[in-house]
Structure 1
Amino acid sequence: MLLRCLRWLRAKVVQRAERLLLHVLAAGPIPKHVAFVMDGNRRYARMNHKAISQGHSDGFLTLRRLLEACLRLEIRCVSVYAFAMDNFRRSPEEIDHLMHLAHDKLRELSQHGDILEQYGVRLNVLGKTSLLPEYVQEAIRHVESITRNNDRCVFSTPVSARKAELVVTAILNIHMSYSAQDEIATAVESAIHISLDNPSDIHITEKDVEDQLFTSLSRSPPLEVLVRTSGVKRLSDYLLWQCNENTQIHFVSAYWPDFGLWDFVPIVLNYQRKAWGK
């Protein structure tokens, strides 16, 4: 009994310390858009002698924790790479588990009182969703519909005076059945169709293409920080257009399910140091 009480007390102390840390960090410059390549679920599972499906489930818990931390930091937009188009090459059993996990967790996120409603977050699922099973598409339509009118984030910490004048929309982009090359090709195709409506001035610029990207259509701010876990140093066809000269890219050795606040804090501090150095 005593040991249980001590564990409870330790958890409460850690929780309060983390909230205080987030409150302090939020007083400095904060990126408007952070993206995560959630890599390493399978290697984490093998290392911990767990089923691959459990590795993916543990990864979702990490997503919830990191999303709440980002919202407490007043980060306006969070994007996550949940399922690449190339992932359809995996075993049918793993794909089936991932699809059912996506369905169940999308439904969970959309429940009354859950994190999206609590913080006023608008959720977008970006990618070629027509390739996903119909029951997943139905869950996507449901959660996008009920969060569509979320246009002001309810932060847990007081909004600073310099931010109070702004209407802040919190956005969670989940990229599923996604490929950056497909996104760019789709954007170019859309830009061409739009230009054909004015045949007297057919001229496509970079901005025309950028305006048709999934992230632009979802009204996401420019990408400022991208984090990839598991120690792999490549983008793997994720947000290739959005990763520009102003995007800070961080490769972290921790597997995604093990990635936590204390891995993320140095990344935020690095962003602040560079922002103050400008």
Structure 2
Amino acid sequence: MSYFDQIDKSRIPQHIAVIMDGNGRWAKRQNLDRSFGHKEGIVAVRRAIEAAAKAQISYITLYTFSTENWKRPEEEVKALMALMIQAVASETPDLIKNNIRVKVIGEIDRLPDDTKKALDLCLEQTSICTGTTVILALSYSSKWEITEAMREIAADVKSGKINIDDIEESLIPQYLSTKGIPDPDILIRTGGELRISNFLLWQIAYSELYFTDELWPEFNEDSLYKAVLDFQNRERRFGKTSEQVSNNS
């Protein structure tokens, strides 16, 4: 029986976040340039999106390029940007066909103009779609996001839009890049590393964490459904006892 057949379709996670790690290591194992790993990573992105749509997962957020990635060699960054433009342009028709909407979060102003232009066109063309929403975290870091949120809150206090007493836990998400998007139910990281890497730190406070040794280019439909099945077999208590959770179910 496949992993897809095993998952409980009535308890599908609403939002899955993914740290896609291992493109470079995958290429090295094949004695190939790192750029080949990134190209295979794009193929894995397509598989993950299609698998999410098939399972009717509402949101999937992909950590595509972090603010720290700007520190990589200039040639690699340029190659990544060029690959992104190519991927967005080639994938947009299929995204529309499959009713998949694309959103972007991050410090977008740092992206090259041609990259932003390609993304803007994709966002516009897929905005009519009502199925799975794919959120690309580009030039993103959680510390940047939270810092920006604090600046906006401070500005709103200064202007009188809100009072200091209005600043509560429930207010913060309204100033984050993911405003209006539910927090991830599960965070998947490929590549065998056991860290969060500055990704959605506020949003994953109660997310289930799933780590796999698979390198991102190896990640496929079964990989995603295996993670979903693992998620469904966990007890999510949110600070409560097992007895309280059982009594409320």
TM-score normalized with structure 1 length: 0.80
- 1:105 to partner: Cα distance: 0.9
How far apart are the structure 2 equivalents of 1:172 and 1:199?
Answer: 32
State the SS of the aligned residue for 1:81.
Answer: strand
Contact 1:122 1:147 in 2 (8 A): yes
How far apart are the structure 2 equivalents of 1:48 and 1:106?
Answer: 26
Alignment partner of 1:143 out of 118, 122, 144: 122
How far apart are the structure 2 equivalents of 1:272 and 1:25?
Answer: 8
| Cα distance change of structure 1 residues 72 and 196 upon mapping to structure 2, 3 Å threshold | same
Match of 1:260 in 2: 220
The one-letter code matched in structure 2 to 1:53 is S
RMSD: 2.0
| Cα distance change of structure 1 residues 84 and 178 upon mapping to structure 2, 3 Å threshold | same
| Cα distance change of structure 1 residues 26 and 91 upon mapping to structure 2, 3 Å threshold | same
Alignment partner of 1:68 out of 50, 57, 77: 50
Contact 1:132 1:177 in 2 (8 A): yes
The one-letter code matched in structure 1 to 2:198 is D
Alignment partner of 1:34 out of 9, 13, 16: 16
| Cα distance change of structure 1 residues 200 and 232 upon mapping to structure 2, 3 Å threshold | closer
How far apart are the structure 2 equivalents of 1:27 and 1:266?
Answer: 13
How far apart are the structure 2 equivalents of 1:269 and 1:40?
Answer: 23
Give the aligned length: 237
Q: Specify which structure has the bigger relative contact order, considering alpha-carbon pairs within 8 angstroms and separated by 6 or more residues.
A: 2
Q: Say if 2:104 is the partner of 1:122.
A: no
How far apart are the structure 1 equivalents of 2:158 and 2:10?
Answer: 46
> Matches of residues 119-198 of structure 1 in structure 2 within 5 Å?
119-150=98-129, 152-153=130-131, 170-198=132-160
User: Alpha-carbon deviations, 1:44-81, whole Å to 9, x = none?
Assistant: 00011111101000001001011101111111000001
How far apart are the structure 1 equivalents of 2:235 and 2:15?
Answer: 14
The one-letter code matched in structure 1 to 2:121 is H
Alignment partner of 2:26 out of 36, 41, 44: 44
Match of 1:13 in 2: none
Contact 2:22 2:215 in 1 (8 A): yes
| Cα distance change of structure 1 residues 275 and 76 upon mapping to structure 2, 3 Å threshold | farther
How far apart are the structure 2 equivalents of 1:99 and 1:117?
Answer: 22
| Cα distance change of structure 1 residues 74 and 89 upon mapping to structure 2, 3 Å threshold | same
Contact 2:6 2:229 in 1 (8 A): no
Match of 2:233 in 1: 273
Q: Say if 2:244 is the partner of 1:244.
A: no
TM-score normalized with structure 2 length: 0.88
Gaps of 5+ in 1: 1-16, 154-169
State the SS of the aligned residue for 1:240.
Answer: coil
Contact 1:196 1:202 in 2 (8 A): no
| Cα distance change of structure 1 residues 193 and 270 upon mapping to structure 2, 3 Å threshold | same
Gaps of 5+ in 2: 237-241
- 1:117 to partner: Cα distance: 1.1
Q: Say if 2:170 is the partner of 1:207.
A: yes
The one-letter code matched in structure 2 to 1:102 is M
Contact 1:23 1:72 in 2 (8 A): no
Alignment partner of 2:63 out of 58, 75, 81: 81
| Cα distance change of structure 1 residues 108 and 206 upon mapping to structure 2, 3 Å threshold | same
Contact 2:44 2:219 in 1 (8 A): yes
State the SS of the aligned residue for 2:198.
Answer: coil
- 1:252 to partner: Cα distance: 0.7
How far apart are the structure 1 equivalents of 2:104 and 2:29?
Answer: 30
- 1:27 to partner: Cα distance: 2.3
Contact 2:106 2:139 in 1 (8 A): yes
